[in-house]
Amino acid sequence: MGKVAIVTGVRRIGRDISEHLLRKGYDLALVYRSSDEEVKRLERVAGSLGRRVLLLKGDLSEEDFCKKVVEETYSEFGRIDALIHLASPYFRTPIEEVSAEDIDRHFRPIAMAFVLLSKEAYKRMLLNEGDTRGHILAFGDWAVEHTPYKNYSAYFLAKGALHTAVKVLAKEFAPHVPVNCIALGPTLKAEDLTEEEWERILKNTPLKRAVSLKEVCELTEFLLKTESMTGEVIMVDGGRHIAGSGLGSVG
Ligand SMILES: NC(=O)c1ccc[n+]([C@@H]2O[C@H](COP(=O)([O-])OP(=O)(O)OC[C@H]3O[C@@H](n4cnc5c(N)ncnc54)[C@H](OP(=O)(O)O)[C@@H]3O)[C@@H](O)[C@H]2O)c1
């Protein structure tokens, strides 16, 4: 029987991961809010490969929607093998102006949704056979663990909670469901950065290149198979976490 994964946040990196998993034989529940074009494209790819996708449109800030995602996935495919949570707002919240609403608008889809989706998916994963019955993977940010940068306080608070949730759930869901996190560094340019700023970031990254999307897809596939690792936050960041201030030999 083919495996089934839920993927949230399929606009850019999530779209490539989804396509990779379809090619590896997964059927997918694609969770999106406004990326209609991307999910239609993925639907066509799935059709050409003889795979199935379920499109679930909604806002992961809502508890009911999180529950519905898992219920509808299970009722469509009859099993759930993996949850991959990429959905994440990312907008500036200078500390002088940050509001409760800004914090909420990041925290709910990033951290709260991860816990609620995981809790519901875990119950269905337990119905699978074998010692390892499913895998949960979050997408975090290298800077949370090392040096959060300025003006993104609400984002970092939420991603910090996400990294903590990975460790909490890894313990809760052992021994049957490993929970891990890929903490990305510069992979695709954020919309609010100029090309010049993006080039400067890459120049100040030890490996001096953007993170390879192909490697992110391959690592995701590997983490959906691993049975020996849980509670890990893996930096896939071109070495930014060892770059210090970015001055000296790096800068
Ligand atoms: N790009 C990088 O270089 C980089 C660096 C560090 C970490 N990361 C992390 O890697 C992941 C993917 O990054 P990306 O650049 O591909 O992301 P992105 O292009 O900014 O897309 C964000 C995704 O989050 C979804 N989303 C946001 N709020 C949502 C909500 N309330 N409900 C449902 N979906 C919501 C969006 O859905 P819709 O488009 O459907 O609205 C979109 O698919 C994210 O977790 C990000 O934090 C990326």
Tell me the domain boundaries of the chain: 4-190+211-241
**pLDDT number for residue 247:** 47
Q: In the sheet that 27-32 helps form, which strands lie side by side, from edge to edge?
A: 53-57, 27-32, 4-8, 82-85, 135-141, 179-184, 233-236
- CA 14 / ligand 1 centre spacing (Å): 8
Our mutation pick for probing the ligand 1 site, out of 6, 83, 86, counting the most ligand atoms within 8 A of Cβ, is 86
**pLDDT number for residue 81:** 98
* Host H or E run for residue 77: helix 63-77
| Average pLDDT in the chain | 96
Q: pLDDT-based confidence at 244, cuts 50/70/90?
A: confident
pLDDT tens for 168-184 read: 999 999 999 999 999 99
Ligand 1 binding pocket includes 102 (Cβ within 6 Å): no
- For the question of whether the overall pTM of this predicted structure is more than 0.85, the answer is yes
**pLDDT number for residue 250:** 35
Our mutation pick for probing the ligand 1 site, out of 15, 66, 68, 88, counting the most ligand atoms within 8 A of Cβ, is 88
Residue 248 predicted with pLDDT over 80: no
For the domain spanning 4-190+211-241, the CATH number is 3.40.50.720
Q: pLDDT-based confidence at 245, cuts 50/70/90?
A: low
Ligand 1 binding pocket includes 187 (Cβ within 6 Å): yes
Ligand 1 binding pocket includes 48 (Cβ within 6 Å): no
pLDDT tens for 141-171 read: 999 998 999 999 999 999 999 999 999 999 9
Query: Could you tell me the two tokens for 10?
Result: 């399929």
